[in-house]
Structure 1
Amino acid sequence: MTDPTGRTLYLQIVDDLRSQIASGELRVGDPIPSTTALQKQYGHSITVVRKAVEVLRNEGLVFGQPGKAVYVQATPASVEAERVSVEDLAQQVADLRTQVMELRGTVEQLYTRLGHPYPNDDAGQPARHRKTGT
């Protein structure tokens, strides 16, 4: 379902509510209008309105439960900042993995230079740190 401009109806609602949240018209902690109120405001079916709210929920902008109010949880800017932070964290983890593999290679070389075999588990794989239990 689209309007004459070609924009999907539920995305029109998403864009408008997202804009209200970004501008502060709807603030974090505020309830968004009910499904019925949104249906009347935009003149679209309940299905279209629910889809729009679902998109906002998936974006992390709102939260709620069926039969209860849906509240603004974050602004688009804060969600974007968090997403960037998660991407940065993923890159840091990848960098650390590379460093660990390089260190492992160095440790294996040191064992070889000392004339000792690198510790392996029963399957021939390098042993992992194990807790000595009681």
Structure 2
Amino acid sequence: MVPINRQNARPLSAQIADDLRRRVATEQLVVGEKIPSLRALAEEYSVAELTVHAAVKELQHEGVLASTSGRGTFVKALPSAGSEEPVDSDAVLTELRELRQEVEALRTRVEAVEQSQRGD
């Protein structure tokens, strides 16, 4: 197991998903095999079950894992080399512009608060 870095900017669930993906790719978890329960994985990674659940959901979305009601979660397939979804560059640029506008608005608000505290 790769230790989870709590100081890392990446969410814990993403780090866990990366580790589970690595374990499947290196056949520590084999296609067709049941993975440990959410509770067991939560204990292994020293995180909440919801954090592990988010990681498992991500891998289900990618098609690496599949859950069967009442039976558990199984390794469905090896992760693809580029297991992340394709990036929509127009959407990314739009989001970036929106974030820049929000940052500028926040900067203006902070400057106004600082000026009022200084008595300018």
TM-score (norm 2): 0.60
The unaligned stretches of length 5 or more in structure 2 are 86-120
Asked if 1:10 corresponds to 2:33, the answer is no
State the distance in 2 between where 1:77 and 1:10 align: 19
Distance 1:79 1:28, change over 3 A: farther
Do 1:60 and 1:79's aligned partners in 2 also have CA atoms closer than 8 Å?
no
Percent identity, aligned pairs only, is 35
Asked if 1:39 corresponds to 2:32, the answer is no
Q: Which residue of 1 aligns with 2:92?
A: none
Asked if 1:65 corresponds to 2:68, the answer is yes
Distance 1:79 1:34, change over 3 A: farther
Asked if 1:19 corresponds to 2:17, the answer is no
Distance 1:35 1:66, change over 3 A: farther
Asked if 1:77 corresponds to 2:69, the answer is no
State the distance in 2 between where 1:20 and 1:30 align: 12
Moved over 2 A (4+): 65-68, 77-80
Q: Which residue of 1 aligns with 2:105?
A: none
State the distance in 1 between where 2:81 and 2:32 align: 14
Asked if 1:29 corresponds to 2:32, the answer is yes
Q: What letter corresponds to residue 68 of structure 1 in structure 2? A: R
TM-score (norm 1): 0.54
Higher relative contact order (CA 8 A, sep 6+): 2
Q: How far apart are residue 68 of structure 1 and its match?
A: 2.6
The unaligned stretches of length 5 or more in structure 1 are 84-134
Q: How far apart are residue 6 of structure 1 and its match?
A: 1.0
Q: How far apart are residue 79 of structure 1 and its match?
A: 8.5
What is the alpha-carbon root mean square deviation over aligned residues? 2.2
Q: How far apart are residue 65 of structure 1 and its match?
A: 3.0
